[in-house]
Structure 1
Amino acid sequence: MVKVATFFAMTLGAFVFWQSMDKVHVWIALRQDEKKERMEREEEIRRVREELLLQQAKERDSLA
């Protein structure tokens, strides 16, 4: 009886472990995707800001 209970407990423990590891991997992947998207948005903002500053500098130079 002890062997059956131990086997059941170990099987249940392994199942819970693998399910939690799967959830951890999904969570990590989502965090990495969010980080990548955030970095891409920040890069786009930086690029647009540089273009706007260059455009403003050209307008100032043409007016002067």
Structure 2
Amino acid sequence: MVKVATYFAMTFGAFLFWQSMDRVHVWIALHQDEKKERMEREQEIKRMQAELMAQAKESES
């Protein structure tokens, strides 16, 4: 009976561990996606600023 209870407890513990690891991996992936999107937006803003500065210099000349 102790062996069965120990086996059940270990199996249940392994299941909980894998479920939590799955959630951690999903959380990490979401944050990586958010970081990538933020960096892409910042690059787009810098590109637009460079274009506007070039247009401003061109119109001043």
Whether TM-score is above 0.5 comes out as yes
Who is 1:42 aligned against? 42
Q: Tell me how far 1:3 sits from its aligned partner.
A: 0.5
Gap regions ≥5 residues in structure 2: none
Who is 1:19 aligned against? 19
How many residues align structurally? 61
Paired with 1:13 and 1:3, the residues of 2 have a C-alpha distance of 15
Structure showing greater Rg? 1
When normalised by structure 1's length, the TM-score is 0.93
Who is 2:30 aligned against? 30
Gap regions ≥5 residues in structure 1: none
Q: Tell me how far 1:47 sits from its aligned partner.
A: 0.1
Asked whether 1:56 is paired with 2:56, we answer yes
Q: Tell me how far 1:37 sits from its aligned partner.
A: 0.3
- The amino acid across from 1:3 in the alignment is K
